[in-house]
Chain A
Amino acid sequence: MYMVANLTGNELCISDLNISIPPRLARDLDAIQSLIGNPRDSADLTLAKKIGKVKIVRDDNLGVIPRKKKKEIIKEKTTIIKEVPSGIDQQALMDFIRDEIQKNKTTQQPESDKSSELMLRAMMKKMDKLLNKQSSTVVSHGSEEEIDYDIDPKALSAIHKKRVDKLVEHAENTIEYKKESTEDTFTDKDLDELDNLL
Chain B
Amino acid sequence: MSRIIGVDPGTMNFQTAEVTSDKKIEIKTIRSAFVEINATEDIEDILNQNKWHFVKDEEHYYVIGEDALKVARMFPSKVELRRPMAGGVLNKRESKKMLIMAELINSSVGDAPDNNSMVCTCVSSDSVDGSVNSSFHKARLVSMIERKGWNVKVIEEGLAIVLSEKPIVVEPDGTESPFSGIGISFGAGRSNCVLVYKGLPVIGMSVARGGDFIDQQVSEQTDTDISQVIAKKEKYLDFNNLDIDDDVIFALDVYYGELIKYVIKHFSAKFMEVKSEFPAPPSIVVAGGTSLPNGFTTKLEKVIERLELPFEISGIKLASDPRNAVVKGCLRQAAVSQRKLVKSSEGKTNKKKEKKGEEENSEELAS
A188 to chain B, nearest CB (A): 10
**Chain B: how many interface residues by the 8 Å CB criterion?**
53
In the bound assembly, the distance between CA atoms of A179 and B144 in angstroms comes to 23
Contact A167 B178, beta carbon cutoff 8 Å: no
- Closest-by-CB residue of A relative to B198 is A197
Give Cα A190 to B163, complex, Å.
10
User: Which of A173, A185, A191, A194 makes the CB contact (< 8 A) with B55?
Assistant: A173
B27, A164: Cβ atoms closer than 8 Å: no
- Does A103 sit at the interface, judged by CB under 8 A? no
The answer to whether B25 and A171 touch across the interface, beta carbons within 8 angstroms, is: no
Q: Does A90 contact B (CB under 8 A)?
A: no
Whole-angstrom distance between the Cβ of A151 and the nearest chain B Cβ: 10
Please, which residues of chain A bring their CB within 8 A of the CB of B147? 161, 164-165
Tell me whether A156 and B166 are in contact (CB under 8 A): no
Known A157-B146, A175-B103; contact A181-B140, beta-carbon cutoff 8 A: no
Nearest CB in chain A to that of B14: its residue: A177
Expressed in whole angstroms, the Cα–Cα distance for A84 and B364 within the complex equals: 82
Q: Tell me whether chain A's interface is mostly helix, strand or loop, or mixed.
A: mixed
A181:B30 contact, CB within 8 angstroms? no
Interface residues contributed by chain A, number (CB under 8 Å): 33
Count, A-B residue pairs, CB within 8 A? 128
Asked if A168 and B139 sit within 8 Å, CB to CB, the answer is no
B residues in contact with A163, CB < 8 Å: 98, 143
The answer on a CB contact under 8 Å between B146 and A161 is yes
Q: Is B133 an interface residue (CB 8 A)?
A: no
User: Is B259 engaged at the interface, CB distance under 8 Å to the other chain?
Assistant: no
Cross-chain contact of B24 among A157, A181, A190, A195 (Cβ < 8 A): A181
Contact residue among A165, A175, A182 (Cβ-Cβ distance under 8 Å from B65): A175
Q: Do A195 and B143 touch (CB < 8 A)? A: no
The residues of A that contact B335 with a CB separation of less than 8 Å are 186, 191
Q: With A164-B98, A164-B144, A171-B56 known to touch, is A194 a contact of B28 (CB < 8 Å)? A: no
User: Could you say which residues of chain B place their CB within 8 Å of the CB of A198?
Assistant: 199-200, 336, 340
Q: Check if A95 is an interface residue, CB within 8 A of chain B.
A: no
**Which residue of B20, B29, B339 contacts A195 across the interface (Cβ within 8 Å)?**
B339
CA distance A171 to B200 in the complex (A): 39
Asked if A168 meets B102 with Cβ closer than 8 Å, knowing A173-B55, A194-B199, the reply is yes
| Contact, CB under 8 Å: B20 / A171 | no
A71 to B224 Cα, complex, angstroms: 43
Measured CB to CB, the closest approach of chain B to A58, in angstroms, equals: 16
A170 at the interface (CB under 8 A from B): yes
**With A and B bound together, what is the CA distance between A195 and B16 in angstroms?**
22
Tell me the smallest distance from the CB of A89 to a CB of chain B, in Å: 44
A195 and chain B: residue at smallest CB distance: B336
User: Which stretch, B78-86, B104-112, B267-275, touches the partner chain A?
Assistant: B104-112
Q: Do B28 and A191 have beta carbons less than 8 Å apart?
A: no
Q: What is the bound-complex CA distance between A159 and B30, given in angstroms?
A: 28
A145 within 8 Å of B by Cβ?
A: no
Decide if A183 is an interface residue (CB 8 Å cutoff): yes
Chain A proximity of B155: nearest CB distance (Å): 10
Q: Measured between alpha carbons, how far is A183 from B98 in the docked complex, in Å?
A: 33
Taking A160-B140, A173-B103 as contacts, is the C-beta distance between A178 and B30 under 8 angstroms? Answer: yes
Chain A to chain B: the 8 pairs with minimum beta-carbon distance, closest first: A160-B143, A177-B28, A175-B107, A197-B199, A173-B55, A171-B57, A161-B147, A173-B103
**Which residues of A are in contact with B by a Cβ distance under 8 Å?**
156-157, 160-161, 163-165, 167-168, 170-186, 190-191, 193-195, 197-198
Q: A164-B144, A186-B335, A194-B332 provided; 18 other pairs, C-beta below 8 A?
A: A156-B139, A157-B143, A160-B143, A161-B147, A163-B143, A164-B98, A168-B57, A168-B99, A173-B53, A173-B56, A177-B16, A177-B29, A184-B23, A184-B24, A191-B332, A194-B199, A194-B336, A197-B179
